[in-house]
Structure 1
Amino acid sequence: MGKVKNFFVALGKWFNLKDRPKRILIIALCLVLAGGLLGSMVQTDFYRYRVYSETIETVPVSSKGEALYEETGVKSWSTADIYQPKSASAEDPVPLVFVVPGIQRTKETQASFCIELVRRGYAVICIDPYGQGESSSSYESQSATQEGYGLFSWMDYLFENPDGKFDWVDFDRVGACGHSAGGNACQKLAEREGRMAAENKTVSRVHGVYITGYIRGLTWSNTACNVGISYSQNDEGAFQNSTAQKKAEILAKDPADRTEEEEWWLTVGNADLRYAQESIDLVNYQLKRGGSEPIDEVEIGFQYGNPYQYNYVIVNNETALHALQPYDSATIAHLVEFFDYTFDSESGLSSSNQLWWLKEAGGALSLVGGFMFICALFVLLLRTRAFQSIGKGMPPRNADQKVKGRIIFWISFVVSAVIACVLYMVCVRLSVEWFPEAAGSSQTWFFPQRFTNAVMLWAVFNGLIGIAIFFLTWGLKYAIDYFAAKKKGAAEGEALPVADVHASYRSILNPLKLGWKDALKTVGMAAILICAFFALDYLIYGIFHTDMRVLFISARVSFSWRAILAIAMYIPFFFLFYFSNSLRANCSMRPANWKEWLSKLIAVLSNTVGLIAIVFIQYIPMIASGQIGYTGTVGPEWLFVNLLFSIIPMMAALPLFNRFFFNRTGSVWLGPIVTCVIFIVMTGGATTIYFAL
């Protein structure tokens, strides 16, 4: 009994909440669990739904219904989250909507669509596209067009209804919606199902499709269902649409030869669906099917056709940026209105009544809690005998910067920002040349992440340049102060004595020193913190079927061994950049005359200004002329700019985490090891991976 009593006494002392790190640890754990609970309640409509993942084995099929690559004998697989109403049954079936993400997105990123459909009584199957998330790669480089990203296989699986698995689905009311390339997949499903219906002399199995963020190149032959389009007036990809091409042809003419109508066309927005040929063709196709007269201008938000004749069509034209459409309340409202109307379903909820943002808030709580947890755990581990030796505390600040030193620093700051800005698009283009298989969406074992490859090249070049700039500026300032001291002696207020100059500049490099024992402990500490972070992520996923994420920033769980292998391939190269950031933020941005908050702010700016400049270069022309700055010479460069929505916040947080670890270890090594692995796992686990089957 005495031992038991002593155990609980010791446990009570450990949980003494007057101890700040322990208090933060408990608060962080509560945040993680509270965020997971909130997300779970929202996505299950307060537990009226069962949400679970399922993987099916597939033989890829084309948009024409043909089996692809049958001769290889290799099968693919597709994973989806299924939102099943607990009250649904064969006697009381419910409509079902497939949700398909676009490129670089996984099923978790479409939670806003899923949640608002669920809240209105629909069942949902949200898939991971081929080459993304838990689904396998595909032999098809145009997977969305040819295979519906796996949607075609799921449609067949649903209607095969093995063992009555989906007897709770109303098979007369099955729809699909998707964003960006996922919208393309839905349109191809509509064509495929229409073709099959014509051959079998039946109605289309898909009742309606709703497409967001995609109109380029859509064709409607054989489509035999209701259709809705939602395209933003500020979509960055609008330069690819027919209106933009028409305007380019007009601009190529001599102004004196332009007609009045052509001058008018130059005032039309590239994404104005009132006059876009894509939207006019869609509406006229549906009107023709219903025996109505064609139109030459689309009325936005007008309900054309008849949903009971499967020729209903509506065109919406919101204002969100392309990547933000799944988080745009107007887009989501139009989506649920489409299915409510075409399914003749009435939930009693207004389309503006939306709670999806609560799941994002819950994910944000969990994400913040996860990082708080490892920071508190790190401080507590430093107290243990095993790790005490690496807890050297905050090193002395560097000497005050003199005038010449400040000039050198700010020149290097500007040069670094310009290089970071210019190099990004250079690396995007290099990634196409150096990694052609991944760039062409082909299966490969050699750096298979198409979008990560460009960022990796940028990180390598910036990391090496950053290290070089650090040592060049360090050496230059060292030489200036040394020769000034040698020439003028130790004249007060003019220069340091030579010995002090040597000591001062050598001390700047002390954080680079690490004995082999401390090196092993540093790696061990990093491993514990990394494992703790993802253990928390898996914990809330296992309990709540949610993870740590908010908008574009996510710590995705349950990624495949292929993703883990790919991430391991990228980490050594990214580490150059993460180490470079730690070196510069902690060894050159800590002069004694800077307050800590100012030092951190400048470190954050130095790591983000160049990338923020790219965003300005992209969107200022769009504000001025309606067309983005980076339209692409070697592919969809604008999609690489969209990556910055997730990269910039991480780059802002990076120097803060590096400084946190540095201030407690006096070393530049632990921070980049921990942050590199966590951030690259976060980034790499949620993007396209074209690994060979």
Structure 2
Amino acid sequence: MKLSTKILILALALILIGSTTAWLVQTNGGQVAIKNVRFAGSNGIVQNATLYIPKGVTKENPAPGIVAIHGYINTNETQAGFAIEFARRGYVVLAVDQTGHGYSDPPAFANGFGGPPALAFMHTLDIVDQNNIGLEGHSMGGWASLIAAATYPDGYKSIVLEGSSTGTFGAPDGTPTFPRNLAVVFSKYDEFSALMWGAPVPVDIVATDKLKTLFGTDENVVPGQLYGSIEDGTARILYQPPVTHPGDHLSTQAIGHAIDWFQRTLDGGQPIPPSNQIWYWKEIGNLVALIGMVLLLFAAGMILLQTRFFSELLEQPAPAKAAKGIGWWVAALIFVILPPLTLFPFKGLFEVLGWQASALFPQNITTQVIIWTTLLGVISLVLFLLWHFALNRATNPNGDHYGITWGRKILWRKVGKSFLLAFLVALAGYVSLLLVAFFFKTDYRFWVFAVKPMNALQFRISLSYLIPFIFFFLVAGTILHGQLRREHMGMGREMLLNWVLMVIGYIGLLLYQYIPLLAGHTLANPAEPLWTIIAFQFLPLMTIVALVKTYFFRKTGHIYVGAFLSAVLITWIVVASQAIHFAF
């Protein structure tokens, strides 16, 4: 059996096993129906949501309901851990895509972040006990929940704010009586404590006037202590699980606190202990399927390169004319530290220059990413050319040695075939995702990293961002496989080396930021909580990039397939998971 066939079988097996596991968990073994629903707000903005309906819930036998709302630049699937556990306990759960997020219409932030329309839609469901509806929101989803509570003061019974706060970014201020029956789940290492509660150190929120006013006390708030009265609707409680802001989604404690509060404040449901949780098996299943999709890319590439049409791309790399000795280590160090060193200042140019979302570049975060990668690419290219002309002339290199040319010429036919090959490889992964979404109602993801199908608008948007990403990955490939290539390495060792070069800088950035926070202080750069969390996604993204770039360079002897495939994959993954800020 050919190696390509073996890898294909393994990839498909992992996708099937992982997706089946995820489906079984999110449906509680078939005891919960999962449906996609769409509804419109008062101004016609249509929102997307996933509806979880426990078995036995009908119009004649309504159940309590919970509206679960994700945070900024997430989608409703991020709330799956909460939704799964709520639904297991007999609650009808509406997990919503905020406006401008997921498959909801743009722009982001419209309609109270989508909170009021979601609560209004919940009240149209005759399978829901209208007197027993809870609101749960993480981060910006908490603000959406509060706006919904203020819009429909009699439309909910209790609320859980996960990593969120009152009186922030348009959310109404909290008082001892608003919102009704509130649980604040704010983690001990939450990166947004200064923004949310005015306390730079997260555990110090207990002493802030804002929280004390909300809890109706002059003393420091005591975690775990019940304030007010559930019967009167004035109940307050603070939970502080030992995780970070995004860590709420991977915390049995954070999810358990939400379960406990709704069991105490909503009537109905099943008395399953909050500690009895299964959601993490879905995370594992999704991760297994994600690994399967990555393997599928290699299998598809192997199979396509064996066809007559693409076989002319198969070549051995030209002899390396790379940096050597101390020069290699200096070049490697620059390659490693330049991306994390420039991330915060370069992405910040978007705000400094006052740029706004547009029809061409409608996703603010994605636009900030391409500003950073484009400037990084220009600087890297200049440094590479300086090295090539000033320090590497003695080796008499040319474009062949860097994987750019064929016989010192760029053969556009082969460049075009390289792009087509990259597109078809990515398409294989995309088709597998569509099948998984259709049959299992899930996707490929783990924690804050998600690979989702694109809708028509997102596909159109991706075309705008693709070219800047192609430029960046062509430059990165030239340096990685030209200046930093090590000869006499096996495929596995070269993949490992390139993975280290692509990823270790971001690991260093995260360690720099989080070591002080986990030691009981603030982030090293407390002004960048959002982008510190975003940096976590660079670890899987750059892992995939390092592997595919190395493999296809070794197979084709040139940078093009790997660079094009990296650009297509990253554009797809990023655009599908980001918020749209322009109102089309």
Q: What is the TM-score normalised by the length of structure 1?
A: 0.79
Q: What is the distance in 1 between the residues matched to 2:486 and 2:577?
A: 39
Equivalent residue number for residue 512 of structure 1: 405
SS class of match (2:72):
coil
Q: Which residue of 2 aligns with 1:671?
A: 562
Change over 3 Å in CA distance of 1:556–1:400 after alignment to 2: closer
- Could you tell me which residue of structure 1 aligns to residue 392 of structure 2? 478
Secondary structure (helix, strand or coil) at the match of 1:176 reads: strand
| Other-structure match for 2:480 | 585
The alignment status of 1:641 with 2:532, answered yes or no, reads yes
Cα drift, residue 541 of structure 1: 0.4
The yes-or-no answer on 1:445 pairing with 2:404 is no
1:565 corresponds in structure 2 to 460
Post-superposition shift, 1:511? 4.4
Q: Distance in 2 between matches of 1:507 and 1:232?
A: 53
In the other structure, the counterpart of 2:73 is 104
The equivalent position to 1:209 in structure 2, one of 127, 141, 159, is 159
TM-superposed CA distance for 1:374, in Å, is 2.1
Q: Secondary structure at the match of 2:95?
A: strand
Of residues 545, 550, 554 in structure 1, which corresponds to 2:441? 545
What residue in structure 1 maps to residue 276 of structure 2? 353
Alpha carbons 1:451, 1:640 under 8 Å: kept: no
Residues 1:234 and 2:193 are matched in the alignment: no
For structure 1, the 5+ residue unaligned runs are: 1-17, 61-74, 195-203, 246-268, 285-293, 439-443, 483-500
Q: Matched residue of 1:680: which SS? A: helix
Task: Give secondary structure in 2 for the equivalent of 1:314.
Answer: strand
Q: Deviations over 1:260-309 (max 9, x none)?
A: xxxxxxxxx4433432323222221xxxxxxxxx4523221122333232
1:131 Cα deviation from its structure 2 partner: 1.2
**In the alignment, residue 209 of structure 1 is paired with which amino acid?**
I
Deviations 1:228-271 (A, max 9, x none): 110012111122355538xxxxxxxxxxxxxxxxxxxxxxx443
Residues 216-227 of structure 1: pairs in structure 2 closer than 5 A: 217=167, 219-221=173-175, 223=178, 225-227=180-182
Residue 692 of structure 1: SS of its match in structure 2? coil
CA contact (8 A) 1:589 1:599 kept: no
2:36 to 53, 61, 82: 53
Residue 173 in structure 1 maps to residue 138 in structure 2: no
Is the 1:408–1:473 contact (alpha carbons within 8 Å) kept by the matching residues of 2? no
Q: Is the CA contact (8 Å cut-off) linking 1:191 and 1:220 kept in structure 2?
A: no
Rounded to whole Å, the distance in 2 between the matches of 1:40 and 1:510 is: 44
Structure 1 equivalent of residue 90 of structure 2: 121
**In 2, Cα distance between the equivalents of 1:590 and 1:224?**
60
Counterparts of 1:170 and 1:242 in 2: how far apart (Å)?
A: 34
Where does residue 351 of structure 2 map in the other structure? Answer: 432
Q: Residues 630 and 224 of structure 1: is their aligned pair in 2 closer, same or farther, counting only changes over 3 Å? A: closer
Is the Cα–Cα contact under 8 Å of residues 249 and 447 in structure 2 kept in the other structure? no
The equivalent residue for 2:287 is: 364
TM alignment of 1:270-669, pairs within 5 A: 270-284=202-216, 294-345=217-268, 347-392=270-315, 394-398=316-320, 405-434=324-353, 436-438=355-357, 444-479=358-393, 482=394, 501-502=395-396, 507-513=400-406, 514-557=410-453, 559-592=454-487, 596-623=491-518, 626-632=521-527, 637-669=528-560
Structure 1's 551 and 241: CA in aligned 2 closer, same or farther, altered over 3 A?
closer
Q: How far is 1:659 from its partner?
A: 0.7
Q: Residue 142 and residue 550 in structure 1: after superposition, are their counterparts in 2 closer, same or farther (change >3 A)?
A: closer
The 2-side partners of 1:659 and 1:377 are apart by 16
TM-aligned CA deviation for residue 227 of structure 1: 0.9
- How far apart, in 2, do the equivalents of 1:186 and 1:241 lie? 15
SS in structure 2 at match of 1:653? helix
8 A Cα contact 1:52 1:82, kept in partner: yes
| Residue number in structure 1 paired with 2:116 | 152
Of 270-279 and 308-317, deviating more is 270-279
Q: Residue 4 of structure 2 aligns to which amino acid in structure 1? A: P
Structure 2: unaligned runs, 5 residues or longer:
none
Q: Distance in 2 between matches of 1:522 and 1:595?
A: 23
Deviations, residues 32-70 of structure 1 (Å, cap 9, x unaligned) = 12222111111111111211111112225xxxxxxxxxx
Determine which structure has more spread, i.e. the larger CA radius of gyration: 1
Q: Distance in 2 between matches of 1:338 and 1:506?
A: 64
Check 1:507–1:576 CA distance in 2 against 1; reply closer, same or farther (3 A cut): closer
The SS at the match of 1:554 is strand
Determine if contact 1:397/1:591 at 8 Å carries over to the other structure: no
Length, aligned pairs only:
576
Q: Does 2:578 match 1:687?
A: yes
1:151-189 CA distance string (max 9 Å, x none): 211222332x3xxxx222111111110000101111222
1:79 is matched by which residue type in structure 2?
N
1:450 & 1:399 partners in 2: Cα distance?
Answer: 40
Q: Which amino acid aligns with 1:686?
A: S
Counterpart residue identity of residue 375, structure 2: F
Shift of the 215–88 alpha-carbon distance from structure 1 to 2, 3 Å rule, reads same
Whether contact under 8 Å (2:403, 2:481) holds in the other structure is no
Q: What is the identity, as a one-letter code, of the residue corresponding to 1:38? A: T
Partner of 2:17: 34
What is the letter of the counterpart of residue 206 of structure 1?
Y
Q: Which moved more, 1:169-178 or 1:520-529?
A: 520-529
Structure 1 residue 135, shift from structure 2 partner: 1.0
Of the structure 1 ranges 668-677 and 468-477, higher mean CA displacement relative to structure 2 is found in: 468-477
Q: CA deviation at 1:25?
A: 0.7
Q: Which amino acid is 1:157 matched to?
A: F
For the aligned residue pairs, the C-alpha RMSD in angstroms reads: 2.3
Identity among equivalent positions (%) equals 23
Q: Which digits, 9 at most, give the CA deviation of each residue in 1:451-471, with x for residues without a partner? A: 112211111112222233333
- Give distance in 1, aligned partners of 2:353 and 2:457: 21
Cα shift at 1:113: 0.8
Preserved CA contact (<8 Å) 1:208 1:227: yes
1:195-206 paired onto structure 2 within 5 Å? 204-206=154-156
Instruction: Name the amino acid aligned to 2:402.
Output: L
Aligned to 2:3: 20
User: Counterparts of 1:542 and 1:36 in 2: how far apart (Å)?
Assistant: 11
